[in-house]
Copies of this chain bind each other. A is one copy, B any other.
Amino acid sequence: MRILLIEDDESLADGITTALRHQGHAVDHAGTGREGIALALAARPDLIILDLGLPDQDGIETLGVLRHRGVDSTVMILTARDQLSAKVQGLDAGADDYLTKPFAVDELLARLRALERRSGASRSAEIQVGNVVINTASHEVLLNGEAVKLSRREFSLLRALAERPGHILSREQLEDKLYSWGEEVASNTVDVHIHNLRKKIYPEFIQTIRGVGYKLGPGR
């Protein structure tokens, strides 16, 4: 998943970024509302995490601008515990969820998974496609009940495809989900990971649409 973090506190931002990357997400970071808007328009993230206590402009205002410009990404706002009215405003201004500071990173991650699901197909942390079960919380993948060991990138790739089984994702779209701004790849990395995934699962599970991209197929 591609995530944009708009947060001025450097150390907090670093912590969140690291945790998210560890989960296999592509993370872009903006330190101000203005910068955040620019990045949101350029990178088209799946999710935006927005701190309401920004220095250059009000967080709510930033959110308003984003929605006005047609950014329809899911938005989670971060706010201080006692700012109830701000939370309510935020939700009504187009945020999808909020988290009160301070929070545990595990909680943030769990919330993200919930949000991810709300817009996607599956209702629980498990996505099933054919005889393959993908657990987005534990990062476990089962093929006919047996565990398959995947690396981080392999898992991210599989998750991206599994969010909408049957839907085709181009190489470019897949790269966008895996790599943040500034760490783009310039090779056939995606091809290679797809190849390795096919070896670990089974070849027909991931189908190639020549000239278009890849999609998950039906069970064998």
What is A's interface to B at a CB cutoff of 8 Å? 67, 72, 74, 84, 87-88, 91-97, 104, 106-107, 110-111, 113-115, 117-119, 123-125, 137-140, 151-152, 164, 166-168, 209-212, 215
Contact = CB atoms under 8 A, between A and B. Distances in A.
* Chain copies in complex: 2
Contacts of A118: 74, 96, 115, 118-119
Contacts of A91: 110-111, 113-114, 125
A134 B92 CA distance: 13
Given A94-B124, A118-B96, A212 B139 contact: yes
Nearest to A138: B166
Given A137-B168, A212-B152, A125 B84 contact: no
Contacts of A140: 166
A84 to B, nearest CB: 6
